Amino acid sequence: MTSLLGAEAATAVIPAPDLPVRPGGRGAGAWRYVVLVVLGVYFLVPIGASVWFSIRDRGQGGVTARHYTGIPGAEGFAEAFTRSLTLAALTVVLALLLMVPTVVLVNLRLPRLRTTVELLTLMPLVLPPIALVVGVRSVLSWAPDYFLNTPLAEAFFALQEPSLPWILVFVYVVLALPFVYRALDAGVRGADLRTLTEAARNLGASWPRVLVSVVLPVLRTSVLNASFLTLALVLGEYTIAAILGFETFPTWIVRVSGSLPQLSVAVSVLSLLITWVLLLLISALDRRRGLKESA
Amino acid sequence: MTAVSARSAGTADLRDRPGVPIRLERLTRRYGPVLALDRLDLDIAGGEFLALLGPSGCGKTTALRAIAGFDRPDEGRVLLGGRDITGTPASKRDMGMVFQAYSLFPNLTVAENVAFGLRVRRRAKAERTGRAAELLDLVGLADRGGRYPHQLSGGQQQRVALARALAVAPQVLLLDEPLSALDAQVRVQLREEIRRIQLELGITTVFVTHDQAEALSVADRVGVLRAGRLEQVASPDELYERPATAFVAEFVGTMNRVPATLADGEVQLLGARRPLAGAAPASGPVVALVRPESLVVAADPAGTGRVVTRTFSGASTRILVALADGAEVRVDVASAVSADLTPGTAVTVTPAERPVLVAPVEPAADGGAAAQA
């Protein structure tokens, strides 16, 4: 989906005809279309194939929406989907609660820690999720092995409650750190946050007030971006949920793909669509805000 | 009238508070090895408009931030109306500040920006809108309340920032180079307006700037800072006419550096002898500091000076003259009598009949050229 947006951006910056055309410009234009077509094929063919597979009626031939209409009633779908949405919402809230003050602090009060924080937030990208989850699993297994009948063991077990596994929230927050940090940091750097917070402090605002009334509105777009990236990450995460043995939306899709292959693909297509719609919604919200302000 | 109605509404009015004095006592601030403030002592009278002037890095902004509470001094105290506020957080200091960078909250309208401080103080909605309207009127933007900051010009944004700073009826107004991002014309206009409003409200004001013309034109007194210490605090006239040090002399206004000799309490320069002004270094070679208007230039076929350029600026014209020894001096003459001083003309330059300030010869001095502040 990123590449599709990239293509949109690329068409938007095609130089106006009155700009001087450098030699070979025509050839470069042709190459641009080649790249677009190759990329389009690369991304659209699998999606098209999935869509075709999910609407093809194997019995009588022709097309059917049967597999889509069957989604809401499919066994386990509602639970898994709701659980994933809940996990995503909790992850977004927790990641923002953690990172908004961090980013603001690093930019305003502790600029010397910037490199450290940047490196720390990069760790989840460097560490393969599989290594992370193996570590998490062995730590969780300490509970029955060493701490049985202690409050700590109770806490560990509570973290692994199958209906709402909080442990996944914590691991997802870690996984989301690189994206959340970068989205927020870009927003903070774009605005002169130091002057704005000082102006608010000077006018008598307490620190919590500064955060709510000044920082968050300024970071609105970045917060939206960070939330969206986190949401997409959680709704698509399979490895960790599967290895820790929890049923989330992605693991449910994989589970039903054996018995109901067309339904599982229909669900995948649908989730892709939902992600796109969310993305478009966010950029539309942002654009409308821009329009309102420049009106 | 305004005062009475506002007080009956239970608010501190903008105009009914006497100016509050500020005192800085041995204020010291280090940034690593750099001494930004070096035992700075300064008394600012209630209702006074004081400008802090100096080159970048002289500590003027650090001093202002210490007063505002954004920067905690390593040593020394800040007193507001006799009360020690060194440890008081910025949000509890009751000061209004206008920043160099545009600092309006982008998500709020102009009126909401102005009312921000009152909203933080949980004032009633009617009071907030009333006060915002009053202040926007004061800064001449009564019709822009519903706009967003980015719809305003830079000068308008700084006016709104001023209105916002004053809306909470602060005890002190702090201005941190509020004009330096603006066009020259807007800058002059706005600085006059700031002065008008300051006089109207009688609010103690500290104005930080690196622009000497700005400082001299609006302030009651100007403090010239250098390397974290005050070189001189004086009225603009005194600063210009009787600079206490060579640094002040050269930083404020245009100053010519002319090679001279000091002997028997008199200064010998440009073939003339003039009494010495201020403190004297050891006798011998010195540099005389002479204002462009304190030199006299006359066309003289036998003169050793040559006119290099002639810059007309209304009533006066500035003549740049190359002296025989290669040094250049700037001389201001009345435009009416400058017609024959075209480039290439042979001239003589003599000092006017008044005491001359001197400085020791600096080894690395740039060939005695005139220094432009």
Residues with pLDDT less than 70, chain B: 1-17, 279-281, 362-373
In one-letter notation, the amino acid at residue B358 is V
Task: Give the separation between CA B74 and CA B56, rounded to whole angstroms.
Answer: 21
Residue of A nearest to B146 (CA): A293
Residue for token digits 């949405």?
A85
Chain B residues in contact with A214 (beta carbon < 8 A): 105
Nearest CA-CA partner of A97 in A186, A270, A226? A226
pLDDT at B28: 93
The verdict on a CB contact (< 8 Å) between A195 and B148 is no
| Nearest CB to B70 within list A198, A213, A220 | A198
pLDDT at A107: 86
Chain A residues in contact with B93 (beta carbon < 8 A): 202
pLDDT at B5: 37
Apex B62 CA angle, B57 and B64, nearest 5: 125
Show Cβ contacts of residue A283 under 8 Å, excluding neighbours closer than 6 positions: none
8 A C-beta contact, residue B158 and residue B99: no
pLDDT at A162: 80
DSSP 3-state of B235: coil
pLDDT at B8: 34
pLDDT at A295: 41
- Separation in Å, CA of B220 to nearest CA in chain A: 25
Residue B37: what are its φ and ψ, rounded to 5°? -130, 130
Apex A252 CA angle, A249 and A254, nearest 5: 115
Is the complex ipTM higher than 0.85?
no
With helix as H, strand as E and coil as C, how does chain A read? CHHHHHHHHHHHCCCCCCCCCCCCHHHHHHHHHHHHHHHHHHHHHHHHHHHHHHHECCCCCCECCHHHHCCCCCCCHHHHHHHHHHHHHHHHHHHHHHHHHHHHHHHHCCHHHHHHHHHHHHHHHHCCHHHHHHHHHHHHCHHHHHCCCCHHHHHHHHHCCCCCCHHHHHHHHHHHHHHHHHHHHHHHHHCCHHHHHHHHHHCCCCHHHHHHHHHHHHCHHHHHHHHHHHHHHHHHCCHHHHHHCCCCHHHHHHHHHHHCHHHHHHHHHHHHHHHHHHHHHHHHHHHHHHHHHHC
User: Sheet harboring B305-313: ordered strands across?
Assistant: B295-299, B346-351, B305-313, B316-322, B328-334
Residues with pLDDT less than 50, chain A: 1-21, 293-295
Residue of B nearest to A191 (CA): B106
Task: Give the separation between CA A88 and CA A271, rounded to whole angstroms.
Answer: 14
Residue for token digits 């009278």?
B45
8 A C-beta contact, residue A124 and residue A178: yes
The verdict on a CB contact (< 8 Å) between A203 and B106 is no
8 A C-beta contact, residue A275 and residue A232: yes
Mind listing the pLDDT tens digit for each residue in A265-280? 888 888 888 888 877 8
pLDDT at B315: 87
Residue of B nearest to A199 (CA): B103
Residue for token digits 């309490």?
B265
Mind listing the pLDDT tens digit for each residue in A130-143? 888 888 888 888 87
C-alpha A36 chain-centroid distance: 25
Handedness of CA A63, A69, A75, A78 (dihedral sign): positive
pLDDT at A180: 93
